[in-house]
Amino acid sequence: MSVAKYSIELEWKEHNVNLDAVHSWMQENAGEQYCGMSSHSKLVVHFKEKPSSEEEQACRDYWEGLDEESEEAGSYASAEDIKAASDAMRAGLVSKTWDQMSAAERKMVLGLPVSRQELGV
Q: Is residue 1 part of a domain?
A: no
Tell me: do 14 and 65 sit in the same domain: yes
23 to 10, 84, 92, 113, 114: CA distances (angstroms): 13, 26, 35, 24, 23
Strand partners, 6: 47
pLDDT over 90 percentage in the chain: 54
Would the pLDDT of 1 be above 60? no
In a domain, 35, yes or no: yes
Q: Is the pLDDT of residue 102 over 60?
A: yes
The verdict on residue 13 lying in a domain is yes
Domain count, the chain: 2
Per-residue confidence band for 75, with pLDDT thresholds at 50, 70 and 90:
low
Q: Please tell me the distance from the alpha carbon of residue 1 to that of residue 41, in angstroms, as a whole number.
A: 25
Mean pLDDT of 6-34: 91
Q: Can you point out the beta strands (E) in 5-70?
A: 6-10, 34-39, 43-47
Q: Are residues 56 and 105 in the same domain?
A: no
- Domain around 99: 79-119
- Residue 100 is classified by DSSP as G
> Quick one: 84 and 31 in the same domain?
no
Residues 98 and 65 in one domain: no
Per-residue pLDDT, 58: 95
Q: Per-residue pLDDT tens for 47-74?
A: 999 999 999 999 999 999 998 888 888 6
Residue 43 lies in a domain: yes
Q: Are residues 115 and 92 in the same domain?
A: yes
Same domain, 42 and 100: no
